[in-house]
Amino acid sequence: MSFPDKLASAVAINQSLLCVGLDPQPELMPVKDVVRFNRAIIEATQDLVCAYKPNLAFYEALGLTGLKALEKTLSFIPPHIPVIGDAKRGDVGHSAQAYARALFDGFGFDAVTLNPYLGYDSIEPFLSYTGRAVFLLCRTSNPGGADIQCLQVSSEGKGSVPLYLAVAKRLAEWAGNGNMGLVVGATYPEELRQVRRLCPTLPILVPGIGAQGGDLELSLHYGLDTSGAGLILTSSRAIIYASHTRDFPQQARLAALELREQINSLRPHSSST
């Protein structure tokens, strides 16, 4: 099943636009075994999400043990739920080919996040994987993103626009097979509105609705497509670290359920299970 189809199916089955980030930080985890921690989170939330999103940095930081934990974690995720590898890769063509093999062949991710700074030939190797998808960083949720993403650039004789809008416009031109999307943070809903205007049908991965304090209501208002979907709203710390004691699976479930219900209450054409 292709990523768009797999995502649409999970959205429908779980009545959810919520993606849970699996970002293990040993100093915050109530149990120190990453595999045990992740498995408990997955089992507690798998009927509430449309996707999971492991951030590779947290596994790479633990060396080979962390990468093995990631591999084991992926085996616990039900096959009907898509997994987005938050890798933020971006490199020249031959290196991009190696990254694509690692992420798609090695780990089996359904989609990955990429940095578009090196242009189309750094993205093309990922697009050669039929049924997989890429999400390109556009307007990220961190404050420092404005240092580069809001720089004014020329726009084909039509004056200047912020770089993030130029990225969105270029992606809209590249996208054609339903295998591309953008990353736009909930911390910048006005920018999300502008991106959605340029890319009315593309999926948008939206970080920042949890610990970063993004505006959920405005993100949904500006970011949903005409079908009442088109967004993947991701939360990590606010869910997986809802408790620092042994009841963490139950508290993660409650946090995920509350957020899913909040999202659905703001969605048109939605009913909660």
46's enclosing H/E stretch is none
Residue 124 CA neighbour count, 13 Å, CB half:
8
DSSP label of 204: E
Distance CA 163, CA 148 (A): 7
Residue 72 bears catalytic tag: no
Buried b / exposed e along 170-183 (16+ C-beta atoms within 10 A)? ebbeebeebbbbbb
Catalytic-labelled residue, pool 53, 88, 158, 169: 88
How many alpha carbons fall within 13 Å on the CB side of residue 232?
30
**Is residue 165 within 8 Å of 198, Cβ to Cβ?**
yes
Q: Look-up: residue for tokens 């700074």?
A: 117
3-state SS class at 156: coil
Question: How wide is the angle at C-alpha 95 spanned by C-alphas 4 and 165, nearest 5°?
Answer: 55
C-alpha angle 49-189-162 in degrees, rounded to nearest 5: 125
Measured CA to CA, the distance from residue 84 to residue 229 in angstroms comes to: 17
Show which residues are catalytic. Answer: 88
